[in-house]
């Protein structure tokens, strides 16, 4: 495999030509890779399910640890493509995977949102079904680009996204966790959506039941939160005309983080 740390990419890279690859976004905290073991699991799952050549995970880990050590608080992004080669869709048998590693500033608006909460609108874009890719964070993110374009018309912090069967799946940036009578739920992601690293982290500490959720059911929940590996866990303050109770939200987040 080839690790690239520059902004240069070949026009023949299959990640650019076909979205033939996957990625993960890691929070760097005090020079350390947060939740690295779960990010590594995500990368390994993508590699196996997409049929990529086996990668040297130990070498990648050491490289990313060295990069993280140079930063106090930042975002490290790892993009893995099948590599350079092949004009058509069929992957060349001898292609060498390419890994792009980059660092960017940590989003400053998450601190403010953790206090105010997220105001959610409803996206007009619905996710299609492809069980073979469900849960994976592949480079094929055109649906999310359309969702972000659509969200620009709303005066909200983020948008709720549903699938073509009108089941709640996620928001444009994270997974959904809802709470009713002290029980945690999250949308099933067996047909579409991304299984986030922070959702996995919280599910290791809590019983979170994956279920099919419709919008009217979500509006009946006591608490709704959005999570990803950068924002971690932020409560939803308002969804359409429903305003969620702040005290209940704070209590639920403390429970999710084992701080009750």
Provide the annotated active-site residues. 25, 137, 170
Return the HEC string of the chain: CEEECCCCCCCCEHHHHHCCEEEEEEEEECCEECCHHHHHHHHHHHHHHCCCCCCCHHHHHHHHHHHHCCCCEEEEEEEEECCECCCCCCCCCCCCCEEEEEEEECCCCHHHHHHHCEEEEECCCCECCCCCCCECCECCCHHHHHHHHHHCCCCCCEEEEEECCCEEEEECCCEEEEEECCEEEEECCCCCCECCHHHHHHHHHCCEEEECCEHHHHHCCCEEEEEECCCEEEEEEEECCEECCHHHHHHHHHHHCCCC
């Amino acid at each position: 495999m080839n690790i690239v740390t520059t902004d240069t990419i070949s026009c023949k890279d299959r990640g650019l030509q076909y979205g033939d690859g996957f990625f993960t976004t890691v929070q760097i905290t005090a020079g350390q890779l947060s939740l690295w073991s779960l990010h590594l699991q995500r990368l390994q799952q993508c590699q196996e399910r997409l049929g990529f050549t086996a990668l040297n995970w130990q070498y990648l880990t050491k490289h990313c640890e060295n990069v993280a050590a140079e930063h106090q608080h930042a975002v490290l992004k790892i993009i893995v493509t099948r590599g350079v080669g092949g004009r058509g869709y069929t992957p060349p048998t001898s292609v060498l995977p390419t890994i792009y590693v980059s660092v960017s500033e940590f989003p400053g608006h998450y601190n403010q949102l953790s206090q105010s909460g997220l105001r959610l609108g409803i996206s007009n874009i619905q996710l299609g079904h492809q069980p073979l890719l469900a849960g994976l964070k592949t480079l094929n993110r055109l649906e999310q680009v359309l969702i972000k374009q659509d969200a620009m018309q709303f005066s909200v912090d983020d948008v709720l996204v549903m699938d073509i069967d009108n089941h709640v799946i996620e928001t444009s940036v994270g997974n959904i966790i809802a709470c009713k009578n002290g029980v945690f739920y999250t949308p099933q992601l067996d047909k579409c959506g991304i299984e986030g690293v922070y959702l996995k982290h919280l599910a290791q500490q809590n019983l979170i039941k994956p279920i099919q959720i419709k919008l009217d059911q979500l509006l009946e929940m006591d608490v709704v939160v959005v999570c990803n590996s950068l924002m971690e866990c932020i409560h939803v303050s308002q969804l359409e005309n429903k305003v969620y109770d702040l005290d209940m939200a704070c209590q639920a987040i403390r429970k999710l983080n084992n701080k009750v």
